[in-house]
Chain A
């Protein structure tokens, strides 16, 4: 039985036994190389669920959204009328790590989520696929084992699937769930985590001027649409600093420094909290190289505090804890 079929059966079982109120998963998107998030409340809708390498977005974001909306809706209820909502979620490695971060940050209780763990062998980067198709419109797309074939007005072409997988996936360390209530499918073989910081190492080897020029050039592309923030499971503040007006943290002028300051702060908020799911990179309409900067925070978090975001429930986020013996080489004249 295919993993998709098993997933659908699991969803029916959970919904009909009322173990969950909704299952958050993926359904086929409107384009042949796309999958969209979907919310199944009725067991008869299970057929919509899909699971394939086009499922890109990190679903933890939606789990948080649903539970927060529910919490808000309960506020004005009499205590005896309050209900509990349980969200089932189809979760691969990065999604489960985001859920761990939510739990560590006390966003909701463990029994409010039901994690349907699935293995992951990487998702297709839409930008890489578009480049492979030379920017032509893709009218059909299919994956057979580790090959991907797509059809454009120029004809059909077959390429290795790996050549269009997202960067985050190629060096992913956690492509199997770190926590789950039930697993569907067999564990996926490991990716290549040893090369996860290759990009950061190469960037560090450049001069300060070169690095700043690269950063400034990348940020010139940014149109401040905030799609990266909207999709990020770790960006869940009720009022984001970019929209606060008292004080107004970041300006919205055309001056380049405003966008740079916005990006520095959004990136820095991810210190110890970015799971490298690549969702922000995937949704960015301008192709800003966010990962180069996010991965540095991840590397520092590991080197300084032996911490990897969302890896273990017991390990608190690095900036939530401290110790007398923390490294302090950076302190001037201690």
Chain B
């Protein structure tokens, strides 16, 4: 990670926590439709966006992610009926709190991508990668292993 950041041609590392039923399937659809999107994102599949513990986001940032994306089903379409609605409340507060502490708002991004939105998935990843590239490597809250 440290080497990566020292390099001229730095590429951001983005961790995406996605739900099994919508966004992961959407990513799958993007894949099988051969839609191109930047390779900077690492997907972590969870049952539901409601399963994403706010600490996962903090921990990812601490362990060197330059950006974190959380994505689930659109409101009203959650496989578990309301998991994404409780996620929405949690992340409304989390994003605001991290920004308040001075962590750039664009480092933590929340969105919805459904299973049929392969193109939207690719579009979101492009957009998020652009945003994080504009910010440059994360420096706050990052653990140094030197």
Contacts and interface: CB of A to CB of B under 8 A. Distances in A.
Given A260-B141, A323-B85, A296 B100 contact: yes
Interface in A88-108: none
Interface in A276-334: 293, 296-297, 300-301, 304-305, 318-319, 321-324, 326-328, 330-334
A211 B123 CA distance: 32
With a 10 A CB-CB cut-off, give which of A204, A249, A271, A293 has the most chain B CB atoms. A271
Contacts of B120: 333
Contact of B89 (A211, A212, A322): A322
A211 B96 CA distance: 13
B89 A319 contact: yes
Nearest to B110: A331
B129 to A, nearest CB: 12
A318 B89 contact: yes
Nearest to A334: B112
A304 B75 contact: no
Main secondary structure of the interface of A (DSSP, over half): helix
A293 B144 CA distance: 25
A203 B100 contact: yes
A332 B97 contact: no
A208 B59 contact: no
A214 B97 CA distance: 14
Interface in B61-107: 62, 75-76, 82, 85-86, 88-104
Given A203-B100, A322-B85, A322-B88, A332 B93 contact: no
Contact of B76 (A213, A324, A334): A324
Nearest to B142: A257
Interface residues of B, number: 41
Contacts of A326: 85, 88-89, 92
Contacts of A216: 140
A265 B58 contact: yes
A261 interface: yes
A286 to B, nearest CB: 18
Contacts of B141: 257, 260-261, 264
B86 A322 contact: yes
Contacts of A305: 89
Contacts of B102: 208-215
Given A261-B62, A322-B82, A331 B112 contact: yes
A197 interface: no
Contact of B124 (A271, A318, A321, A333): A333
Nearest to B71: A332
Contacts of A210: 102
A304 B93 contact: yes
Contacts, number: 121
B110 A332 contact: yes
B85 to A, nearest CB: 4
Interface in B99-131: 99-104, 109-112, 120, 123-124, 127-128
Interface residues of A, number: 46
A267 B88 CA distance: 19
A255 B143 CA distance: 7
A332 to B, nearest CB: 4
A330 B143 contact: no
A260 B99 CA distance: 14
B78 to A, nearest CB: 11
B76 A300 contact: no
Contact of A268 (B75, B94, B103): B94
Interface of B: 54-55, 58-59, 62, 75-76, 82, 85-86, 88-104, 109-112, 120, 123-124, 127-128, 140-144
20 contacts: A204-B100, A209-B102, A212-B140, A214-B102, A215-B101, A249-B59, A258-B143, A261-B59, A261-B62, A264-B58, A271-B97, A293-B100, A296-B100, A300-B92, A318-B93, A319-B93, A326-B88, A330-B95, A331-B110, A333-B111
